[in-house]
Amino acid sequence: MIVFSWFKYIYPRHLNLLYGGGEASARLKRPELKCAKLCGGFASAQFVFNRYRIRRLMLDIKNETILAIDPGFERLGIAILSRDPKKHIVIFSKCFNTDKKLSFEERLVLIGEDLELVIKTYKPTSLAIETLFLSNNQKTVMRVSEVRGVIIYICKKSNLNIFEYQPLRVKIAVTGYGKATKENVMAMVPKLVCFEKVPTSDDELDAVAIGLTHLASTRP
């Protein structure tokens, strides 16, 4: 009997390419593989089973609905995108504002409540969120990191797959150029997706750009 064990090296690698890393790739990273016999040099039932699982995952990608967020505590860009083979569709987008007169803790509660309502309404399967952009304003960085913590906690609690993207990767995905300006990104976003009405808020467009990055990174 020959032990057939190369699945656990090949398939996780393919899934990493397929999903661009992130939590979804972990679903098959450590599969419970059983030893299979080689019949005439080909894998037996285990081969068929793994192919079936990958096809199911690819089907999930095709039907994926994305919650994309540009994190902030004063303004939060939110977008819901749906994958489409011709042109991706923005189902919903908005800029959620919190009152400056409220305490930071109260603003966090409002952000959490609004996010839970969006998830309940649109039932996304994945969260795409931008990583923390470090600046000289340490107070702002700390506040935004706390907002990201609330967002990731709520999304994970709602069983969403979590994907994080660096600003550089967003620029490359949307414009093809890592040193693109914010204006370049804002100009390209409406050309890449279908909007019912193009938003005027930069935070909304940023959220859509993050969602586009995820869709481009997880193309079936």
Averaged pLDDT for residues 143-148: 94
Averaged pLDDT for residues 50-76: 69
- To 5 degrees, how large is the angle CA 26–CA 192–CA 219? 25
Per-residue pLDDT tens over the stretch 91-140: 999 999 999 999 999 999 999 999 999 999 999 999 999 998 766 677 88
Q: Which of 64, 164, 203, 206 is the catalytic position? A: 203
Q: For position 141, what pLDDT does the model report?
A: 86
List the domains of the chain with CATH numbers. Answer: 7-59 (no CATH), 65-217 (3.30.420.10)
Residue 184 neighbours by CB distance under 10 Å = 15
Q: Does residue 76 or residue 32 have the better pLDDT? A: 76
Averaged pLDDT for residues 20-27: 42
Q: Does residue 48 or residue 78 have the better pLDDT? A: 78
Check residue 73 and report its DSSP letter: S
Whether the Cβ atoms of residue 205 and residue 199 lie closer than 8 Å to each other:
yes
Q: For position 86, what pLDDT does the model report?
A: 82
Mean pLDDT over the full length of the chain: 78
Per-residue pLDDT tens over the stretch 41-60: 444 444 444 444 444 444 44
For residue 71, pLDDT beyond 90? yes
Concerning whether 70 is annotated as a catalytic residue, the answer is yes
Q: Which of 32, 60, 64, 70 is the catalytic position? A: 70
Averaged pLDDT for residues 81-95: 91
Concerning whether 203 is annotated as a catalytic residue, the answer is yes
Concerning whether 206 is annotated as a catalytic residue, the answer is no
